Chain A
Amino acid sequence: MTSGQKTLDQHTVSDEIIRCDVIIIGGGPAGLAAAIELKRLGVADILILEREKEPGGILRQCIHDGFGLQRFHESLSGPEYAARFIDQAKELGIECLTDTSVLEITPDKKVITASRQGLTTYQARAVVLAMGCRERTREAICIPGSRLAGVYTAGVAQAYINLKNIMIGQTAVILGSGDIGLIMARRLTLEGAQVKAVFELQPHANGLPRNIAQCLNDFGIPLLLSHTVTRIHGKNRLEGVTVSQVDENLRPITGTQEYYACDTLIISVGLIPENELSEMAGVTLDPRTNGPLVDEHCQTTVKGIFAAGNVLIVHDLVDFVSLEAERLAAAVAVYLENDGVPAVDDRANDTSDKSRPATDCPLNAPAANCISIEPDRSIGFTVPQYVSGRKDFLLSMRVRNPHKNCTVVLQQGSTVIAETSLRKAIPAEMIQIPVRSADLVSREKITVVLKYE
């Protein structure tokens, strides 16, 4: 914990810049997994900055079980899953400053924080963005009505009940079929509230099928697809909502209004990667994911700034966040050693292509030097959005609409370089396809096509 001593002592010296190899912004599952893996790879000088009072991120309030099935092959609650990483980070002597908010990151990787010690400036060699995501609010979807009490996003409701022991209402409806909304439907029911219905704007559910089964069906809570809240009633406290059916263009259909008396409205209408700091650092965002554009090393368009977890793309399972952060750590370790990310697979030794030295990090000029990946209209996005073509990578994507018996095909020109057949593909489940660099046939762009009947 030598770096810990250093930083704490120097907090009093406000104009001094504290040097650090890697600064990780956020002590949630992504930040913790990245830190632990970095330490294992021999990187000693790591600092995690966390704005909350303790690390763990959103897992602290996710008390239901089902976490860790992929990563640990057992079903843990959120706090237990987080504790495995927190305990390990402690054992490894990784420093995590809590109650510390990052105010700014500069493109040359200065990080300015505010804490009880005042303002502190750090100079990092590499920065890991692990800020996670935040919820879309009632305001984001513009539901008319007065600004009264009783309207909560699902995550806020979860924090009140699971962290603060404050019950939020007695009769609830839920807008949006995202997983947190479904989990809260069950939680509220178990805590004695009546959950009348879940309304989903889209013609398909957004949460995982297992959550619809165990959180709604188990308790007889109806899920009404192609429905939305069109009016909020009440003055100081919510008294009811008007719900309307929507047409195929998601517009409310006049004459379908129905009134639901309730004192609580839970909003679970999507998550947005939290990238204000990334933008300050000059990182280019992908309008499709709302997260940074990255290559297969999780490196953003700014050299030495990496991103993993929900800040990059909203994942459906924390297990995948941890795995992604660990892959990121491997790239950051290489970056620190070489002052750049060289292509690290066998092709780096392929001397036939003399115009491209093995160390040409694609990240300096991503557009010119990289193979871009372009999904078709059935697939919303891919992460990474471009690759060096010299290293095997895992391609993540989601379909826009549910399909049965479909095939995801990756092509360069007319050559198929990878394909995966799926019995079902739904927007709630991220699809991940491993791609071998040896299968690439050119420097041409990779197109991702969904084939279905």
Chain B
Amino acid sequence: MNRTFTCIMCPTGCEIEAEIEDSGDRTEDGPVILKITGATCIRGNAYVENELKNPLRIVASSIRVTGGNYPITSVRLTAPVPRARMMDVIEELRKVRIEAPVTIGQIIIQNILGLQSDVIITRHIGRRK
């Protein structure tokens, strides 16, 4: 069986084809991959392997800030988490409230939900004058 993927690792968006075993014998690491073609860099193959096994995504969102010159600041994950857990991450972020000032790179939640990814601030927020 062939499956086609659009790689999301960079803006090139390679169309990558994966040939996987039909038998339906899924190992713990997902279906058995026979061949991957179409990627123009090595990240493409790794992406498709992950997609077949356990798709990973970065989450970016906002958290509330008190005492700042803006009501919220933006945050993102430092490493991708399983796609199925994105909403759980968002729910965790909803609970967070932080006092200004905050700076880019500041870690807000370490190892969120045990997913081996940190939540960092992506926008400076100064204190309200």
Residues of A within 8 A of B (CB): 60, 63-66, 69-70, 75-77, 79-80, 83, 161-165, 190-191, 208-210, 212-214, 218, 316-317, 424, 429
Most buried by B among A60, A164, A213, A316: A213
Asked if A77 contacts B122 (CB within 8 A), the reply is: yes
Asked if A210 contacts B8 (CB within 8 A), the reply is: yes
Cα separation A416 to B58 with both chains bound (whole Å)? 44
Residues of B within 8 A of A (CB): 5-11, 13, 15, 55, 57-62, 64, 70-72, 74, 76, 83, 86-87, 90, 104, 122-124
Residues of chain B with a CB closer than 8 A to A218's CB: 55, 57, 83
Asked if B74 contacts A162 (CB within 8 A), the reply is: yes
Cα separation A77 to B123 with both chains bound (whole Å)? 9
Residues of chain A with a CB closer than 8 A to B57's CB: 214, 218
Closest residue of chain B to A80 (Cβ to Cβ) is B122
Given A79-B123, A190-B87, A209-B15, A162–B62 Cβ distance below 8 Å?
A: yes
Q: A79-B124, A210-B7 are in contact. List 13 more A-B contacts (CB 8 A).
A: A63-B60, A63-B74, A65-B60, A77-B76, A80-B104, A163-B70, A165-B62, A190-B86, A208-B11, A209-B15, A210-B9, A210-B10, A424-B15
Asked if A190 contacts B59 (CB within 8 A), the reply is: yes
Closest residue of chain A to B63 (Cβ to Cβ) is A165
Asked if A316 contacts B11 (CB within 8 A), the reply is: yes
Q: Give the 10 A-B residue pairs with the shortest CB-CB distance, closest first.
A: A209-B13, A63-B74, A79-B123, A213-B6, A210-B13, A77-B122, A210-B8, A209-B6, A165-B72, A165-B71
Asked if A213 contacts B61 (CB within 8 A), the reply is: no
| Shortest beta-carbon distance from A445 to chain B in Å | 31
Cα separation A45 to B42 with both chains bound (whole Å)? 45
Given A63-B61, A63-B122, A213–B74 Cβ distance below 8 Å?
A: no
Residues of chain A with a CB closer than 8 A to B11's CB: 66, 69-70, 208, 210, 316-317, 429
Given A65-B76, A190-B87, A424-B15, A212–B61 Cβ distance below 8 Å?
A: no
Most buried by A among B6, B83, B86: B6
Residues of chain B with a CB closer than 8 A to A76's CB: 122
Residues of chain A with a CB closer than 8 A to B86's CB: 190
| Shortest beta-carbon distance from B38 to chain A in Å | 9
Cα separation A282 to B40 with both chains bound (whole Å)? 45
Give the secondary structure class of A's interface: mixed
Asked if B6 contacts A210 (CB within 8 A), the reply is: yes
Residues of chain B with a CB closer than 8 A to A429's CB: 11
Asked if A79 contacts B6 (CB within 8 A), the reply is: no
| Shortest beta-carbon distance from B101 to chain A in Å | 14
Given A79-B74, A79-B122, A165-B71, A69–B60 Cβ distance below 8 Å?
A: no
Cα separation A346 to B124 with both chains bound (whole Å)? 46
Given A208-B11, A218-B57, A316-B11, A63–B62 Cβ distance below 8 Å?
A: yes
Closest residue of chain A to B75 (Cβ to Cβ) is A63
Closest residue of chain B to A75 (Cβ to Cβ) is B58
Residues of chain B with a CB closer than 8 A to A190's CB: 59, 61, 86-87, 90
Residues of chain A with a CB closer than 8 A to B123's CB: 60, 63, 77, 79-80, 83
Residues of chain A with a CB closer than 8 A to B62's CB: 63, 161-162, 165
| Shortest beta-carbon distance from B65 to chain A in Å | 9
| Shortest beta-carbon distance from A366 to chain B in Å | 32
Residues of chain B with a CB closer than 8 A to A162's CB: 62, 72, 74
Cα separation A77 to B13 with both chains bound (whole Å)? 18
Could you list 13 A-B pairs, sorted by A, with CB under 8 Å? A63-B76, A76-B122, A79-B104, A80-B104, A80-B122, A83-B124, A165-B62, A190-B61, A210-B6, A210-B9, A213-B8, A218-B57, A429-B11
Residues of chain B with a CB closer than 8 A to A165's CB: 62, 64, 71-72
Asked if A213 contacts B60 (CB within 8 A), the reply is: no
Residues of chain A with a CB closer than 8 A to B8's CB: 210, 213-214
Residues of chain A with a CB closer than 8 A to B74's CB: 63, 77, 79, 162
| Shortest beta-carbon distance from B22 to chain A in Å | 23
Cα separation A213 to B74 with both chains bound (whole Å)? 23
Residues of chain B with a CB closer than 8 A to A424's CB: 15
Cα separation A66 to B15 with both chains bound (whole Å)? 18
| Shortest beta-carbon distance from B17 to chain A in Å | 13
Residues of chain B with a CB closer than 8 A to A64's CB: 60
Residues of chain A with a CB closer than 8 A to B122's CB: 63, 76-77, 79-80
| Shortest beta-carbon distance from B91 to chain A in Å | 10
Asked if A65 contacts B58 (CB within 8 A), the reply is: yes
Cα separation A227 to B87 with both chains bound (whole Å)? 30
Residues of chain A with a CB closer than 8 A to B83's CB: 218
| Shortest beta-carbon distance from B37 to chain A in Å | 12
| Shortest beta-carbon distance from B116 to chain A in Å | 17
Closest residue of chain A to B5 (Cβ to Cβ) is A213
